[in-house]
Amino acid sequence: MEWIRGEEIGRGGFAWINLAIPNKNLAGLPPLIAVKSCDLSHSATLGNELEVLQSLGECPHVIRCFGAGQTIEGGSELFNLLLEYAPGGSLANEMRKRGGKLTEPEVRRHARSVLEALRHIHSHGIVHGDIKVQNILVFPPVDRCGCPEVKVADFGLAREAGCTIRPHKGEDEDEDEDEDKDGEEHRGFEWRGTPLYMSPEAVNDNEYEAPSDVWALGCAVVEMATGRPAWSHPDGANVYSLMIRIGLGDETPIIPHDLSEEGKDFLRKCFVRDPTKRWTAEMLLNHPFVACKKDCQFVSPPHSPSPRTHFDFTDWNSSIQSSTISTQSSLVTSPREFWQGKSEFGSFNNYDHHGSDSPIERIHNLACDTRPDFEDSESLWITVR
C-alpha cells in the first residue's frame, strides 16, 4: 500500500503517530488515517496490538485497524500500524477543553460505549489491560444528540485472558522512565498498566483479567464525572504508597457525592474488591445508569485557538509549515511476517494530540469541486482537525 505521511500528532517513548493519506482511493479505507510507527527492532508492542485488533474484528466502539506495513525512511527500518483516525483526540483532551469534567448524561453515554467495547473484547478472550481516559478516543456524533462518540484504543498491553505474565524488560525501558505505562518490576513480577487505574488483584497477585478492566472503567467514570483521578495521589509522590492503598485493606476510590444514585450504585459494582464478585461488562450493560441512552445534553466546548474544523478559524495563515513524505508500504497480513514465535508484551506511552495552524490554500482544496491531487509528491498539505 502506498500512503503519504503527514504531520506528527503524538509521540511516546519509542513510537510516534502521524496523520496519513492513502495514495490511492482503495476500497474500505477512509481518506485520512493515523499511522503509529516505531523502529522495527522495537516493534513487539505494535505487533501485539496488530495481532489483537485483527483477532477482535469489527466493533463500533473499538478503534479500527487497517493492517500494518514496513518502510525504510531516513535510513531506518520502520514498522507502521495503520489505524482509524480520531478527529477529537483522546477523551482526556476533550475533558480538558470542557473545563475538566463532563455532564452526567455524557458520562452515562461514554460509559456504555466503553462497556460495549469491553463486552466485545472479553467475549473474544482478550483483556485490554490499560483502560483509561487517555486511551478512549473521540469521534464526531453519529446521531441527533450531538454528543461525540468514543472508541477504545491502544491495545499494546492487551493479552489473552488466563495467560501468565512473565517478567521482562520493556522495549523502551532505557528511553522512557514514565511509570504510568511501563510496568514496574517488583519482587519477581511486573506491574503493568497505569497505577491510578490498577485493580487490587493486579497489585496483590499480578492478576490481569477481565474484572481488572471493569475496575479501570470505574476509575475512568469517576474521572469523567469529577475531572480528577479516582485516587488522590499528589504528583511526584511515591507510586508504592499508592499501590499499598490499592492493594491492602478495604479502601476503594471515593464515589462522587454529586453523582446520581444510579451512578453511585454503578461505581459500587465496579469497585468490588473481590474480582469474582465484581460485575462483568455484560452485567453492567443492564445497569440503570447505562441501560438506555438518554439525551446527552451535550455542551459545546468554548472556542479554542486550535481549531478542529475549517469553520473554526479566526486568523488565516497562508504559510505552509509541514511537508509530506511519499511512503511505499508493503501491507502486512500477520505480525508473524516480522517476528517468529509468541511476541512479548511491551509498553506504550500516552499520546498528547496537538493542533496546528492550517493554510487557506488547504481549505480551498478541501472546498473545491474536485478531489485534491494527493498523488503529487510535491503537493503540500496539512490537516484541519
Examine the residue annotation and report whether 130 is marked as an active-site residue of this protein.
yes
d(CA 84, CA 64): 5
d(CA 345, CA 158): 8
At residue 179, the 3 state secondary structure works out as coil
The strand pairing partners of 326, in sequence order, are: 4
Nearest Cα neighbor of 154 from 119, 188, 114, 190 is 114
Contact by Cβ (8 Å): 112, 75: no
Q: What is the DSSP letter of 337?
A: G
Distances (CA, A) of 49 to 197, 243, 352, 382: 20, 27, 19, 27
Contacts of 291 (CB under 8 A, 6+ apart): 285
Burial of 298 (0-12, 13-18, 19+ CB in 10 A): middle
Order the strands of the 15-22 sheet from edge to edge. Answer: 325-328, 2-11, 15-22, 33-39, 76-84, 65-73, 330-332
**Active-site choice (39, 130, 182, 274):** 130
d(CA 182, CA 180): 6
Nearest Cα neighbor of 47 from 352, 350, 349, 341 is 341
Contact by Cβ (8 Å): 183, 170: yes
Q: Within 13 Å of residue 365, how many CA atoms lie on the same side as its CB?
A: 16
Residue with cell 517468529: 340
Q: What amino acid occupies position 84?
A: E
Q: Which residues are catalytic?
A: 130
